[in-house]
Every structure is written in structure tokens, then in C-alpha cells.
Amino acid sequence: MSEIVRQFTVGTDDDGVRLDRWFKRHLPQVGFATVSRWARTGQIRLDGKRAAPEDRLSAGQVLRVPPGGNITPSGAGPKPRRELSDEEVAEAEAMVLEQDRAAIVLNKPPGLATQGGSGTLRHVDGLLDAFCGEGDPRPRLVHRLDKDTSGVLLVARTPGSAAFFSKRFSGRSAQKIYWALVVGVPDIANGLIELPIAKQAGTGGEKMHVDEAGGQAAKTRYRMIERAGNSAAWLELYPLTGRTHQLRVHMAAIGHPIVGDGKYGGQGAFLTGSISRKMHLHARRLVIDHPGGDQIDVTAPLPEHFAGSMVQMGFDETLGDVEIAPPSMPEREVKKRAAKAHSKDLRKERRGERRKRGASDKPERPRLGKPAKGKPTAGKAAARSKAEPKPGGGKPGTGKPAPRKPAAPRSGGGKPGTGSKR
């Protein structure tokens, strides 16, 4: 447990994140309850000022963290890193296409899972420790590829870049272009497939299918590059949504399953002759914004089995890689992003400023002290006016009139108060 006050300088990757999120990233052993208590008691300071868990940080600010809090009651902490063998390190490094301070772009081979699961011990996520040194954050995945799909896979180096890239994928601004060999030749050379997709019952979520009634909207644009007679075609696929197994389901649904995809195409997905039985789906290219303001634009070479099938079918690889215009962003999404950016700029301008109202801005409130002589307060004056008898008598403070006195007898006799004469 640390017994000294610690100071951290907020990095560019953490610009704009909440204070409690910063602790989760960099000091995960400090629980949220501890962060809240430190903030409430003024022990956490941001550029010398008190800070709240929901405050957003700016790059360059200095964060003061008090002693203690290194061990949570449950004893939880960051997961220990797995020691990789020399062969595993070499395997990880052989996949690298490009890398910088924010990202690592890999060319995932077919047959290697992206993440672990039941019975899956060998996967990309398990090799990421090869890319981080002592004290560096562990790289993390920001999107997925199927086990049998090869090609471009983006890995974020830092928590900040992971959040940045994840927003680009979820916001559909990232452009992903796939190459596929399919059985048969589509009637339409350039088309758009719009078929909703849902999990197929009884498969435990392992298989998807087209569900017109209850499926999620899914769109795929495709372009035929070349054809091999009537037996096969080489397509460029551009997913406009990101549903599980979307490309595979869509191609099988229009009667042209991806070559080697027995899961969705059955026996009809395998070509005769020497064409490989492996799946011919490759994430060819990825274009995505970079946190530094530039763009990542990476193309992955074909795996051996795919390249061999291209040669056997007589396809010319140089005919591919034609630009496809990205889908236009809806106007409401443009406005939403602009408003969000404006709000963020306003928060940055106000951050660090003390919000104190001037005395002239405060509304006047009645003083509760002793009233000055001869000037009763409004409350006492009201109470006194209630206690004073009204004209005509009556019990003080009740507002009731005093009882009437008997009338004096009139001259001429008679009963008092009746006015009658004898």
C-alpha cells in the first residue's frame, strides 16, 4: 500500500474522460467508493483544486492522489500478464502490418480465433502481451473477425485510443472492405442486400439466419470484380452494418454462399477440383480515423489458400482495390456530433474556473437577526396586527365582535329592548 501522496499528469489519451474512469484505467485497484470518499473529503486535487468523480480531465492537468487505496477489500487488482514463449512472440510479430503509439494493425491468419472461449486456448487476444513493455497498458481489441476469416484486425495500444476507435466502429464511420469468392455468379453485378438477421433458435447463438419479422436491420453493398464462367465470382463486400456473420448470411441468402463456408452454404459451398476447402473471406482493407487527426488506411495481403484459388480461377488481383464511396452520414447524426463537440468545448473552457456568484447576483433574503429598534420585522408586524382588537371590541386575536349590550329603555315604558308600550 502506498504511503505517499502521488501526482500524475493527465495524458492526451485521457483528455475528456471522467475522473472516476481515469482511476478505473490507471489505478483499478482503487474502488469507486474510495474515489468518492477522497473526492468528498477534498483529498483528490486537480491542479490544486477539489475535484468530483464526474469531473472531466484535460491533457496536461496534474492530479493529486492521496496515500492508500492500493488494496481493495476483495483483493482484486490488475490481471497478471501471461508469459509468452519465443514462438508465440514471433507469431504475434509476424502478423503486424503497421503500428504506432495508438494502434497495432494485424493481418489475422485464417483459423486463429480473435478471442478465447469454451475450448479455445489459442487466440489473438492471448498474444497481445507481446506488444507491451513493463509499465505499459495492455493492448486491447476494438473489433472482431470470425475465426476462419482472415485480414485486417485493429488493436488499440491504450485505453484512450480504444475508446476513440470503438466510437468510430459503432458510429459506422470506419470503412471495412472485404474480398470474397462466392459460388455461382450474382444476377446483379453491383447490388445492395437488405435482409434483417437474428440468432437461429437451437444453436446457442452460434448461428444466425435471415428473420424478416424479428431480426435486426442489416445491409451489405457488393460489387462483382471478376467471374470464372458460371461457377464462381470474385466480389468486393462492403458491410454498412455490423451484425454477427452478416456477410456470410447475406451471401448464402441470395444463393451465392462464400466458397468454403459450409456452416451457411452446406455442401454447395465447396467447389470441385483443387480449390481449397477453407473459407474464402478476407478483410482486405480498413480505413479509420486516427486519434492524432490523420487516417489509418491499411491493406492486408491475401492468405496462401485464397491467393492460390485466385490464380487457379484466373483472377487478376490488380483489378481489385477500387474505391467505394463511404455511406453518407444522416443529417441528424451530423447535427448530433456537432452539438456534442460544442458541449465538449464549453466544458473545457469552464474547467478550472471557480463558479462564484457576486454579491449583486444573489437574491436578497430576510435577515434572521435582531430587528432594529422601531422597525419591527414583517413577521412580527403581522403577528401584532392579528392581536390588536378590531374597532368595535372583541377578544384580542380572535376577530370575533364583542357581545352587544342591552338597549336602554325608551321613554314611555315597555320591556327593555322591545320598543313595545304598555
Active site residues: 146
* CA–CA gap between residue 140 and residue 102 (Å, rounded): 11
Q: Give Cα 331 distance to the centre of its chain.
A: 21
| Cα-based distances in Å from 208 to 147, 195, 203, 279, 307 | 15, 12, 9, 17, 28
Answer for the pair 96, 57: CB distance below 8 angstroms, yes or no: no
Answer for the pair 183, 207: CB distance below 8 angstroms, yes or no: no
Which of helix, strand or coil describes residue 141? Answer: strand
Cα atoms in the 13 Å half-sphere on the side-chain side of 385:
7
Q: Which residues are CB-neighbours of 136 under 8 A, at least 6 positions away?
A: 157
What is 179-235 written as a DSSP string? EEEEES--SSSEEEEE--EEEPTTTTTS-EEE-TTTPBP-EEEEEEEEEETTTEEEE
* CA–CA gap between residue 118 and residue 146 (Å, rounded): 15
Residues present in the chain in total: 422
* CA–CA gap between residue 315 and residue 340 (Å, rounded): 47
Which of helix, strand or coil describes residue 167? Answer: helix
* CA–CA gap between residue 162 and residue 71 (Å, rounded): 26
Residue 171: all three cell numbers together: 458510429
263's enclosing H/E stretch is helix 262-265
Answer for the pair 16, 58: CB distance below 8 angstroms, yes or no: yes
Q: Give Cα 169 distance to the centre of its chain.
A: 10
197: closest CA among 183, 188, 207?
207
